[in-house]
Amino acid sequence: MRDCVAPPFDANLTAALLALNNAHAEELSYKTPEDFAALIEAASHVRAEAGGLALIVAFDDSCTYDNPNFHWLKQRFQSFYYIDRVVVSDAARGRGLARAFYDELAARTRDEGRERLVCEINSEPPNPQSDAFHEKLGFRPIGSQALEGKGKTVRYWTRDIS
């Protein structure tokens, strides 16, 4: 993907990506600079638009990741990439960045012999734009869970990779 970079990110890009993440904290979860750096370091797949306008963070099934959504999915599947977060700034919407991120991750998933992409999307509060995007890419819902202490419910989605 043109203008796509992988970590390590310089300080300016890291700051822009953290601000982008936190501008969408309701959908993604708020991160301190330290938490964000730890997330990026722990993930098995991270890509960003070079100007800080978009980000994807994913974990493969071999990762150790203390996250209730990752645990829910790991209990049900053995071979996957879990998309922890994908975000595109309002200024960059409609440029195909998220689709390009997903296409690259799907190709990596296939190349590594993994079976699926998985993610969660808020159902309470609802996120209909994300639901529609994932449906267009061939994801289907497979379950849900209320997240204790977070005030939200998520729906889990999967897309088989062949």
Mean per-residue pLDDT of the chain: 96
Question: For residue range 127-140, what is the model confidence (pLDDT) as tens digits?
Answer: 999 999 999 999 99
Domains identified in the chain and CATH numbers: 4-160 (3.40.630.30)
Percentage of the chain exceeding pLDDT 70: 99
Cα separation, 50 vs 17, in Å, equals 10
Q: What is the mean pLDDT of residues 71-80?
A: 97
Cα separation, 138 vs 135, in Å, equals 5
Confidence category of residue 1, pLDDT binned at 50, 70, 90: low
Cis peptide before 7 (omega within 30 of 0): no
Contacts (Cβ under 8 Å, ≥6 apart) of 15: 52
Residue 7 has pLDDT above 90, yes or no: yes
Residue 122 has pLDDT above 70, yes or no: yes
Residue 116 CA: distances (Å) to CA of 18, 21, 119, 132, 162: 28, 25, 10, 19, 8
Cα separation, 108 vs 106, in Å, equals 5
pLDDT at 150: 81
114 in Cβ contact with 81 (< 8 Å): yes
